[in-house]
Amino acid sequence: MYKLTIFAPKQLFDMNQAADFQRASKTDQFQHHDYYLMDELLTDEHKLIRSTVRDFVKREISPIIEDSAQKCLFPHFLIKGMAEVGCFGAQLPAEYGCGGLDYISYGIIMQELERCDSGIRSTASVQGSLVMYPIYKFGSEEQKRKYLPKLANGEMMGCFGLTEPDHGSNPAGMTTNFKDAGDGKHVILNGAKMWISNSPFADVAVVWAKNEAGVIKGIIVERGMPGFTTPETHNKWSLRASATGELVFNDVKVPKENILPGFEGLKGPLTCLNSARYGISWGAIGAALDCYDTALRYAKERKQFGRPIAGFQLQQKKLAEMITEIAKAQLLTWRLGVLMNEGRATPAQISMAKRNNVAMACTIARNARQMLGGMGITGEYSIMRHMMNLESVVTYEGTHDIHLLITGMDVTGENAFT
């Protein structure tokens, strides 16, 4: 058991933890590379959440992550601990067993997970933003009470099925569909989803499918329903510590009570993506910070031509540009978090942050890897793993191109998609 559970009433964040917290804050300042003193914009609770998740990550995930990635295995044994430190549904109301925290707290949790590995952050993003969020936002009271507490405590894991083999960037074209079973109680679901994070082990899938009128609805499919299978996708070079797979529906009989009643149309799944994309914009900063930190330490220690490579202007240029881009991303993302908390963030603002920060992290990972020379390609350091992971992050939740076109549409009023 961990000493501190974030999903605790606020009064538990009391003076008993002050000593731990102050110690953690001092360490954080060194490790956080907080160039613009962003910590001053965070509350004590934010910092406590950060140090709690960071401690958990360092103790439980960092020691095993390279092995999991090399073996291409999702470390299932982490789920309970991740739930205990509040990684699942931190931003959703406490009344359903969720965290009851603000969006900056949620972002900080994603940052700390992805500082270690994007695949682990993915598992938490999907659970909190793409499974719990749609059930919370569009589900019936019975659905919320049935699923949310178990998803929050990790007893149940979920996945989100939007992408199809022939419809990735353009989910409106989806062909997965359901029709009335004729018994008054069920619908019959057919189709297939592809590239689905968590699918090989998920207990439930939030699936987006068209009804007989061609209208998109969300439907909760449970493992074990006859005709529902989840084949795993193998041979990935990216996100190897995250399980990815398909969702195949072959005349699956799903109770009508599993349909999310609260919305219809593509706007439903796209609304969920806002929450996940926002979390990714924080997560990418975590990956970038880890690459920067590794490159900086290495450059100070590694000597060539009789001096540390940190003394060469070409290496200083790389490091100076890294921390500049990280600081810009931190400012952008913190402001976005404030707008999220106020309910004022627009989807286009979220797209800009996701696109900017992931591209920033990709560039930093690549430059950091080069700074380590040959050592940079080994599993002794985390950089190459981050670099390969980020190739998925720049693709999923809307590709780099798609987010650019969303910004383009927002500023010109012209839709480049149609």
| Helix/strand/coil percent split, the chain, to 5 | 55, 15, 30
Q: Least distance to ligand TGC from the beta carbon of 224, Å?
A: 23
| 161, interface contact from ligand TGC, ligand FAD, none, CB < 5-8 Å by kind | ligand FAD
Pick the piece of the chain touching ligand FAD (CB under 6 A) from 104-112, 173-181, 292-300, 395-403: 395-403
Give yes or no: 397 in active site.
Answer: yes
Dist. CA 118–CA 124, nearest whole Å: 10
What is the nearest approach in angstroms of ligand TGC to the Cβ of residue 193? Answer: 10
> For residue 362, which of 293, 284, 290 has the smallest C-alpha distance?
284
Q: Does 103 bind ligand FAD (CB under 6 A)?
A: no
- Considering the complex, state which of residue 123 and residue 294 has its C-beta at the smaller distance from ligand FAD: 123
The count of other CB atoms within 10 Å of the CB of residue 387 is 22
C-alpha distances (whole Å) from 17 to each of 8, 11, 24, 52, 356 are: 13, 11, 10, 11, 36
Q: 105 — phi, psi (to 5°)?
A: -60, -45
Phi, psi for 353 (deg, rounded to 5): -70, -45
Q: Is 134 in the site for ligand FAD (CB under 6 A)?
A: no
From residue 194 to residue 223, the character string flagging contacts with ligand FAD as x (rule: CB under 6 A) and all else as - is -xxx--------------------------
- Closer CB to ligand TGC, residue 50 or residue 355? 355
Q: How far apart are CA 260 and CA 29, in angstroms?
A: 44
Using CB under 6 A, pick the residue from 51, 111, 127, 163 that binds ligand TGC.
163
> Contact between 74 and ligand FAD (CB under 6 A)?
no
Rule CB under 6 A: choose which of 91, 230, 275, 392 binds ligand FAD.
Answer: 392
Of 235 and 313, nearer to ligand TGC (C-beta) is: 235
Q: At what angle do helices 383-393 and 118-125 cross, to 10 degrees?
A: 40
SS3 251: strand
Which stretches of the chain bind ligand FAD, using CB under 6 A? 126, 159-163, 168-169, 195-197, 239, 244, 392, 395-397, 399, 401-402, 405, 417
The residues carrying an active-site annotation are 397
